C-alpha cells in the first residue's frame, strides 16, 4: 500500500463531478489512493478512515511517503485533561471571520462535525468524521450525567445529523447553517430560548462522551 501525505489543504468530494464537499484534508494528513480515474482519485484518509474524491488538479499536492505512523492512542483520563484546550480551539475559531461550510473541517469555515473533529484533533484526539459516526463512537449518557466536553447530538429518530460541544448548565457551542438561524459557530441552549435553540431542541437525541482517540479500520 502506497501512503501519501497532503502538502496543503485538499478538498474531498462526495462525487467526482459535483461541488458538494465530503470533507477537507488539512496539510500534513495521510491517505491512501484506492482508485485512479482520468478526472481524479478515490482516496481514504488514514486518521479517520473517511473516503472521498480528490480532483485531478489536487493530486499534485499529494506526496508519497515511506511510512505512516498512526496517531498515539489516548484514554479517557488523558482526554479529560485536554478538554480546556479543545474548548479554547472552538472559541478561537468562533472569534475568526467565518461562516458555516458543509464539509468544512479546516479553519476558518466548519460544519458541525468538522468543527468537533478539528477541535479534538488539535490536541491529538481523533474522532470519526460525521455526526452519526461520532455518536456511535462515543459512550452514551443521560443528560443529567453530561459534563463540559461531552458531545450532544441532534437529528431524526433514525440518525444523528448535528453535533455540538456541551458547555454545562444546558448550553452548548456548535456550528450551524443559515437554515437554522446561524451561519457559523454560536452558543445555544437546550432549553430552546431562541429560534435556533428551539429548532435543535425538537431534534434532541442524546449525549456522548469521548472515551478514547479513534483508530479506524483501513481499506485494503
Q: Which domains does the chain have, with CATH numbers?
A: 3-65 (2.30.30.40), 76-209 (3.90.1720.10)
Residue found under cell 432549553: 191
pLDDT at residue 125, rounded to an integer: 98
Q: Are 31 and 43 in contact (CB under 8 A)?
A: yes
In tens digits, what is the pLDDT along the chain, a chain of 220 residues?
789 999 999 999 999 888 899 999 999 999 999 999 999 999 999 999 999 999 999 999 999 999 999 999 999 999 999 999 999 999 999 999 999 999 999 999 999 999 999 999 999 999 999 999 999 999 999 999 999 999 999 999 999 999 999 999 999 999 999 887 789 999 999 998 888 999 999 999 999 999 999 999 876 5
Q: What does the buried/exposed string (b/e) look like for 130-158 if buried means 16 or more CB atoms within 10 Å of the residue's CB?
A: bbbbbbebbeebeeeebeebbbbbbbeee
Choosing from 98, 109, 112, 182, the catalytic residue is: 112
Choosing from 109, 174, 180, 182, the catalytic residue is: 174
Residue 112 is among the residues annotated as catalytic for this protein: yes
Choosing from 98, 109, 162, 182, the catalytic residue is: 162
Residue 182 is among the residues annotated as catalytic for this protein: no
| Burial of 126 (C-beta count, 10 Å sphere; 0-12/13-18/19+) | buried
In terms of DSSP H, where are the helices of 60-165? 76-95, 112-121, 131-137
pTM of the model: 0.96
C-alpha cell at 83: 478538554
C-alpha cell at 124: 491529538
Residue 174 is among the residues annotated as catalytic for this protein: yes
Amino acid at each position: 500500500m502506497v501512503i501519501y501525505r497532503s502538502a496543503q489543504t485538499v478538498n474531498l468530494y462526495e462525487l467526482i463531478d459535483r461541488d458538494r464537499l465530503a470533507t477537507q484534508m488539512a496539510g500534513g494528513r495521510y491517505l491512501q489512493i484506492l482508485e485512479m480515474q482520468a478526472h481524479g482519485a478515490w482516496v481514504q484518509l488514514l486518521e479517520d478512515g473517511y473516503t472521498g474524491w480528490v480532483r485531478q488538479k489536487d493530486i499534485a499536492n499529494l506526496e508519497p511517503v515511506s511510512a505512516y505512523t498512526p496517531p498515539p492512542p489516548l484514554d479517557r483520563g488523558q482526554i479529560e485533561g485536554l478538554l480546556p484546550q479543545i474548548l479554547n480551539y472552538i472559541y478561537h475559531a468562533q472569534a475568526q471571520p467565518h461562516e458555516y461550510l458543509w464539509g468544512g473541517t479546516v479553519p476558518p469555515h466548519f460544519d458541525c462535525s468538522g468543527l468537533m473533529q478539528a477541535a479534538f484533533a488539535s490536541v491529538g484526539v481523533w474522532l470519526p468524521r460525521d455526526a452519526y459516526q461520532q455518536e456511535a463512537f462515543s459512550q452514551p449518557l443521560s443528560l443529567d450525567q453530561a459534563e463540559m466536553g461531552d458531545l450532544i447530538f441532534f437529528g431524526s429518530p433514525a440518525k444523528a445529523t448535528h453535533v455540538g460541544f456541551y458547555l454545562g448548565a444546558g448550553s452548548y457551542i456548535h456550528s450551524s447553517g443559515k437554515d437554522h438561524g446561524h451561519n457559523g459557530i454560536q452558543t445555544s441552549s437546550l432549553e430552546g430560548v431562541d429560534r435556533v435553540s428551539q429548532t435543535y431542541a425538537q431534534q434532541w437525541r442524546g449525549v456522548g462522551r469521548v472515551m478514547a482517540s479513534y483508530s479506524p479500520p483501513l481499506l485494503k
